[in-house]
């Protein structure tokens, strides 16, 4: 899995967050599709590749030591300048169903550690997602 592109790693990260609670919800899958369709970092990324990368991530997660292996591959494939973007993608997927479970929080913690993000960046990204998803 060491030959994945940065875009593949971003998709894998979103799949990882979505699958963390053992249930990839429709809202989360829709959010992944929306992010891939609208974020400039995914310009030129095909829908076919999205499906294939998602399947690869799901298979890798089901293997022995899969979680650690996928997190490591993600961190290695994402350049430093895109690490905040990567975490933002993960937070968006986690927030999509308006419910954060303990498993999702744990995976986000693993990702921010692996991506070596500072606390201020993490707090800003999490706070902005909270503001976007807050209801009346």
Prediction pTM value = 0.90
- Of the chain, the percentage scoring pLDDT greater than 90 comes to 54
Residue 2 has pLDDT above 70, yes or no: no
| 82 closest CA partner among 135, 2, 131, 11 | 11
Q: How confident is the model at residue 59 (pLDDT cuts 50, 70, 90)?
A: confident
Residue 123 has pLDDT above 70, yes or no: yes
Residue 100 has pLDDT above 80, yes or no: no
Compute the C-alpha angle 126/55/86, nearest 5°: 25
Percent composition of the chain: helix, strand, coil (DSSP 3-state, to 5): 75, 0, 25
The residue among 26 and 42 whose pLDDT is bigger is 42
pLDDT attached to residue 17: 92
Taking residues 30-49, report their average pLDDT.
92
The residue among 89 and 63 whose pLDDT is bigger is 89
Fold category of 6-133 in CATH: TerB-like (1.10.3680)
């Amino acid at each position: 899995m060491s030959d994945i592109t940065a875009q593949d790693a971003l998709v894998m990260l979103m799949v990882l967050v979505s699958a963390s609670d053992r249930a990839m919800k429709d809202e989360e899958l829709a959010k992944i599709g929306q992010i891939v369709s609208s974020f400039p970092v995914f310009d030129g990324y095909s829908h076919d590749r999205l499906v294939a990368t998602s399947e690869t991530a799901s298979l890798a997660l089901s293997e022995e030591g899969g979680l650690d292996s996928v997190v490591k591959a993600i961190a290695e494939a994402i350049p430093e300048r895109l690490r905040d973007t990567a975490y933002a993608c993960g937070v968006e997927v986690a927030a999509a169903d308006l419910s954060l479970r303990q498993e999702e929080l744990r995976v986000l913690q693993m990702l921010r550690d692996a991506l070596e993000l500072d606390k201020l960046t993490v707090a800003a990204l999490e706070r902005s997602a909270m503001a976007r998803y807050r209801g009346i």
